[in-house]
Chain A
Amino acid sequence: MKFLNLLKQGTKHVLKQETKNIFKLILTPIIGTLLVAYIFGHNAFIENIPFGIVDNDNSTLSRSVIQQLQLQPGLNVNYYLDSESELEEAIKDKKVNGGIVIPEHFGKDVSAMKSPSALILADGTNMVLGGNALGYASAVLGTLNAGVQINVFQGRGMLPPVATQTISNFSYVNRVLYDPQSSYLRNLIYIIIPFTAQMAFVTSFLVPLLLEKKKEFACIKMRSKEGVGSILNLIGRIFLISTVTVISTFIALCIVRKLYGIPLRGEVLIYIAIMYLFLISLTAIGLVISSIVNNLGYFLLFFNTINQILIMTCGVTYPEYMMPDGFAQAVKFIWPFRSAAIPLKFLNLKGVGWDVIFPYIKDGLLYTAFWLPVGIILYSAKIAFTKNRNKKSLDIKEDSDGNLLDIKEELIVELN
């Protein structure tokens, strides 16, 4: 009964201390995820790409090519120029992101079976726009080419249905599993969620708390009632905020699923396991960081600067097997983001089970098994070192519980 009362009191106290962080950790992943979904989820396809035309032929066929390009929804044919160099300039000036140059005698050469070649120019500085413009334009030319092929075969005495069948006889079907539209949103959203959660958890809660506790622990005797209470308070706060983060990220996923049709296929239990393990791993490395760093400002500068590296190296934007030897292993050893980002994407997008997720969980467990003891040892050593230094330099008085008297405030000031 006494224990239950203590637990109740402790929980109340922790909730009171962390009210601000609870709101922050609820709102940050939800707002961050919604913003990204709003931006990337607006259009499944990139359409209306400004496209230029240089028609040096002005024949029926060249006009037909232009008409087909105008009908292609991916392109916005809005610029007509006189030469290839003008088109190139227009691309450089960002007036268009792509264009086509139809050569002189194009129609005539097609009729004479001279196989003339059109030139498609694309903006390489913006690969997304340029690449899509190139794709759309080549699809139009491919369709026209098939049409002319059928005419050629008919001209050689083939019956129209046979000619059509011959042309389409050799074909293949492309299927993109789990994300048929290859959307930018589905590619990114599953890593944005642990990313925003990590950002808020580490910078707003974990490291500030560990730095604050470091100062507190340096002023109290750890084996006293106050010391044990303070450690339990630290564990309770980390557990509370971790739970809030797991719930809030899940809510964020549910919202984007509802609003943008993002798949949420895996087991919730696996999701919880991955997220808790990720947050425990972050706590482990957080202990290491806060044993080295004393100034929160310096840490925030450091973390905010390197933050994007964590996304770029997690193996989602660039495949792990393309990285130099040992690179992925080094990343895995230093920071736990990769062990959460990839399994979360596989789980939610593919709906995979424990068998696929287990290697990533194993990575997370190994990471924690190494860094948590290292973190605890370094953190404790730092506290012991600070205590020792202060004992040497100050006249210390202790009360019956072993707590330091009078100088607590001065110590805190000095540690700051």
Chain B
Amino acid sequence: MFIMKEKIVHILKKVKQLKYMLSPILKKTLRFKYMLVPFTILLVLPPVCTCILGYEFSAHSVSKVPTVIVNHDDTSTTQGLVNQIKTNDKFNVVEYSQNDNDVKSLIDRGKAAVGIIIPANFSKDLTDGKAPKIMVFYDGAQTSVAGAGKSKIAEILGAIKAGYLIGIGEGKLGMMPEVVANNINPIRYTSRIIGNPTSNMTNFFLQGTLLNMVQISMAITAILVIKKGNSYKVIWIKGIIVALIGSISSFLVIGILYKYFGFPYRGSVKALVVLTIIYDIGITFFGVLQSISKNGDKVEAISSCGIIASTMMFAGYTYPVIAMPNIFSIITKYTPFSYYAIPLRDLSLVGGTFKDILPDISWLAKFMIIMWIVTFLKYISNKRPKKPKKARKGKKIRKDEIANTDEVEVITG
């Protein structure tokens, strides 16, 4: 017991000594806390978000669509249809019912996204040529789930229809079995989805969403690390450091998606690196511009960075520009995100070389240089002494309105 106590005292002494030794370094480090905290957030948070979203979307495409089946026609034809749906991985039959109202009720409560009603005497009416109709209901409030169910239902019912027509061909028309398949399906088609063969929605939007987070983070970090009295040289260096940290964060995002969540990257790594760094510098200097424009008011400057988050929408990253009002076809041309995230998605999904993205790199390089020039000009204009506003006759000037000038007489109320 005594030895233990002695040991603890010894360790505590050592810790105290270490603390004393490190105190000058700690003090110096704390002086840069205003930079270290934002840098850490910028570097760590987007990769963490990538892990969260990657984990959330790890199943990739939607399956096991909750389905309710109301079958009023208990025959072998309809049982075959029900079995096909039941055994298909795309569906999860949550309820079999005999009441049509259950479809609406379950969809209303969000318990089912697809409802199938097979009418009474379906098989008999089919044989009699009375064209009975299977009703398929989808929940419009669960678009992604309904969409996944819709294409599979079309496939299953299409196959059943083909079987039915083959039966007609063989029975009524007396066709030979080997001929009938070609006859009832005279024009066929196959499809190929370039770059995303499994129609994976996650591949379509996840990368851009995460890079959108990085760009917002970079612009705000730039605002937080710039101090009011900083010279342009210091501001420029800080901007570049923020952009480089942001780029590392972007690489981590893409790397984590690739390594742990099966997100493809088929393009040139050099193209990725150059595209990201140039874009990140440009966007960081947008944050720098806000910082200089708002003259040190960080909250106001951060508020004006909100527009950056919307650039994903303006770029037509998820919703196509051709479906937007015409003005957006012009706005998109001046939205830097469309020269970064869209080519990057192409590089990831389709592949490509440095040469393929040269036009985008050229646009982004111009954007970066323009941002440097604009921030510099704004900095210079802020440095110039401003002429005080002339007071209107008879109007009292509030103290805070002229707080920065000493040329006007202060009239307090």
Chain A interface (Cβ < 8 Å from any Cβ of B): 35-36, 38-40, 42-43, 45-49, 88, 91-92, 94, 110, 113-131, 134, 137-138, 141, 144-145, 148-149, 152-153, 156-158, 162, 165-180, 182, 184, 186-187, 203-204, 208, 295-298, 300-302, 304-309, 312-313, 317-319, 321-324, 327, 342, 345-346, 349-350, 352, 356
Contacts and interface: CB of A to CB of B under 8 A. Distances in A.
A113 B126 contact: no
Contacts, number: 302
A350 B130 CA distance: 34
Interface in B128-154: 129-131, 133-147, 150, 153
Contacts of B306: 304
B185 A176 contact: no
Q: Interface on chain A toward B: helix, strand, loop, or mixed SS?
A: helix
Nearest to B143: A187
Contacts of B309: 304, 307-308
Contacts of A318: 56-57, 62, 144
B381 to A, nearest CB: 25
B104 interface: yes
B137 A115 contact: no
Contacts of B55: 324, 327
Chain B interface category by residue count: 35 or more
8 contacts: A39-B325, A46-B320, A47-B322, A148-B186, A149-B186, A174-B150, A298-B38, A305-B46
Contacts of B213: 305-306, 308-309
Contacts of A42: 323-325
B369 interface: no
Contacts of A118: 187-190
Nearest to A131: B199
A134 B189 CA distance: 11
Given A120-B191, A131-B199, A356-B108, A125 B350 contact: yes
Given A172-B153, A179-B143, 19 more contacts: A42-B325, A43-B323, A94-B346, A121-B194, A124-B193, A124-B196, A127-B199, A152-B184, A166-B168, A170-B160, A173-B135, A174-B150, A174-B153, A179-B141, A182-B147, A297-B298, A304-B305, A319-B145, A327-B55
B192 A121 contact: yes
A122 B192 contact: yes
B196 A305 contact: no
Contact of B108 (A115, A145, A352): A352
A169 B133 CA distance: 9
Interface in B217-231: 217, 220-221, 223-224
B126 A169 contact: yes
Interface in B6-40: 37-38
Given A172-B136, A300-B302, A153 B224 contact: no
B255 interface: no
B140 A180 contact: yes
B139 A145 contact: no
B49 A300 contact: no
B56 A327 contact: yes
Given A110-B186, A120-B189, A322-B62, A305 B45 contact: yes
A22 B104 CA distance: 41
A170 B126 contact: yes
B109 interface: yes
A172 B114 CA distance: 14
Nearest to A330: B52
Q: What 3 A-B pairs have minimum CB-CB distances, sorted nearest first?
A: A124-B196, A179-B140, A115-B182
B136 A156 contact: no
A36 B390 CA distance: 42
A235 B135 CA distance: 53
B189 A309 contact: no
A176 B45 CA distance: 39
B322 A46 contact: yes
A145 B187 contact: yes
Contacts of B361: none
B380 interface: no
A128 B41 contact: no
B313 interface: yes
Nearest to B139: A177
Given A176-B138, A177-B139, A324-B55, A120 B186 contact: no
B197 interface: yes
